[in-house]
Amino acid sequence: MGLLDRFRRREGAVRRTGDGPTTVRTAGSADTEHLREWATQRRGVEGFVEPRTAVSDVTLLLVAHDGEWTRRRVPSVQWAHEFANKLGIPSYDAAVVGIPQRMRDYNRRRKESGL
């Protein structure tokens, strides 16, 4: 391994953030494929693009008509909106519009049923 190879960013690689011990896994092709399959197997899907935080890179939250949801890391905010557009899914900035109530209701129902 050459000296500069250590600094090249690889798909799915872990990167250090700041000076602390926190590491963040980057988005990879498995994340993209999961999002694509999930969105095409459900109806009424909307995308909510969540901004980068101290603990996580940009994520795309997909929520179906019944509140079922999935979330994966994505390369960028722009990438997330373009991905949703290609699939015909409306996408929103989660920091602006928030998370839909149907997702919270879905989580509550699952918790009450013991799942």
CA distance 9 to 24: 12
CA dihedral 64, 65, 68, 71 (to 10 degrees): 30
pLDDT tens, residue order, the chain (115 aa): 555 555 454 445 444 445 454 455 667 789 999 999 999 999 999 999 999 999 889 999 999 999 999 999 999 999 999 999 999 999 999 999 999 999 999 999 999 998 7
CA distance 23 to 39: 28
What predicted TM-score, i.e. pTM, was given to this entire model?
0.76
In a domain, 65, yes or no: yes
CA distance 106 to 88: 23
In a domain, 9, yes or no: no
Q: 112 — phi, psi (to 5°)?
A: -65, -30
Domains identified in the chain, total number: 1
In a domain, 12, yes or no: no
Q: In terms of Cα–Cα distance, which of 40, 26, 52, 113 is closest to 83?
A: 40
